[in-house]
Amino acid sequence: MAFDIQGTSLSWSSPQAARQLVFLLLVMGAVLTPSSPSDIPSSSSTMHNNNWAVLVCTSRFWFNYRHMANTLSLYRTVKRLGIPDERIILMLADDMACNARNTYPAQVFNNENHQLNLYGDNVEVDYRGYEVTVENFLRVLIGRHESAVPRSKRLLSDEGSHVLLYMSGHGGDEFLKFQDSEELQSHDLSDVVKQMKEKHRFKELLIMVDTCQAATLFSQLHSPGVLAIGSSMKGQNAYSHHLDSDIGVSVVDRFTFYTLAFFEKLNMYSNASLGSLFNSYNPNLLMSTAFCRMDLYQRPLHEVPVTNFFGSVMKTIHTESSYKLVSSAPGVESSHDLHSVGADRLTLEAEADVVKQIDSPEKRAVKIKRKKFDQQSLGDGNGHQQTKSNKSLVKVIKGREDAEASPFSKALLTRKLFTFSKISLIMELFGGKFFRTTCMIL
């Protein structure tokens, strides 16, 4: 037998040709082998699909209505642009929607036309009320939680993640107030960002703050990969946009209002850049000067899509390779075990259908035997206690009664029912005393 590959004649009689053929087959096998899980691009090597958001309203009380509306507005925006709830940590005082002063119960608005309820059915608040503290805020960012904290309240980012941190509230020169009881200092923010970088919890971090003198909160930052945008410079105030006469307070701040106006024109596939976002801030409209610290960020803002932080597009990667299934059921460790478990369940379901259709003299006989057993061995009507062996058998009988509600459970107890009928027959033949002895032996 001979082969001709690109003009070269190979024969099985030639050892050198045979070795070349084997080598060629090995190379072809390596090329055609399905990719392993490790060949799939990890989240660290992808863009625009590993994004997280931490949205914090640091204020409470009715007159700070606008700060909660600011945060809920950003929450709605990032969800609309593709970031799912499981990747959003939302921290709110959450005392506005059901406040007695609210003329629109269970609703929060950021516009006086009241067309968009920000506090809809799909709002998932992770930290509410007095859970919104500096300590919990820092714990979320660095990932140091108590064991009882569920995964839904944790920031599970990694070294490939783009993280958006948005904060709205009252601030001053290098501090941000939390519910008028404590403060987050600029060095606290710098330290937590440094720890996040050391623990590989982000690739790029965007910090956006809407407070008075917001720029001063970034003065101590030194970690690479961090971009910071603030609503005002040192010595400047951040102002509200408009008053809602029905609600009686301002419903949104100017900086957040114009940020939302920019994003309402976009979708998750838009190519608008962070540079265009920052250039959209007009000092005359904001009544303050927006600030952007870019010295720690490696890329030009006009090359970075806003959806790198404010949106997310999940990619589906097709692969022919198989994955080992993981089950929480004890003793199930492989796909073969899972297959056998599925087969057993089908068998039990088939048995359940058979049991459900039984309406025979045997079934009625079991009920009669049970009734006699109740009269003879469960008590004589004078309050005498049952023996230990009787109590154990009572559990089997009670289990039968519970099983009647589920055909699937009936199949599991079928053998016990037939065994019970046989034991009841022995009881009648030999008497209760011998029966109790037999049960103890069994």
Residues 140, 146, 149, 150, CA torsion sign: positive
**Distance (Å, whole) CA 57 – CA 253:** 13
Buried b or exposed e, range 246-262, using 16+ CB within 10 angstroms: ebebbbbbbbbbbbbeb
Task: Supply φ then ψ for residue 291, to 5 degrees.
Answer: -125, 140
Dihedrals φ, ψ of 113, to 5°? -80, -10
424 with 375: CB under 8 angstroms? Answer: no
What is the rounded distance in angstroms from the CA atom of residue 219 to the CA atom of residue 187?
A: 8
Residue found under tokens 């309240």: 153
DSSP 8-state secondary structure symbol assigned to residue 117: -
Dihedral Cα 248, 250, 251, 256, nearest 10 deg: 180
Crossing angle of helices 414-430 and 432-441, rounded to 10°? 140
Tokens 């404010």 correspond to: 310
Find how far residue 338's CA is from the centre of its chain.
25
Q: Is the dihedral of CA 242, 276, 231, 198 positive or negative?
A: positive
Contact 95, 60 (CB under 8 A): yes
Give me the active site residues, please. 170, 212
- The tokens describing 136, both together, are 């919990």
CB atoms within 10 A of CB 179: 20
Tokens of 259: 């940020």
Cβ pair 370, 397 in contact under 8 A: yes
SS3 89: strand
C-alpha pair distances (Å), 285 with each of 209, 254, 282, 288, 434:
17, 8, 5, 8, 96
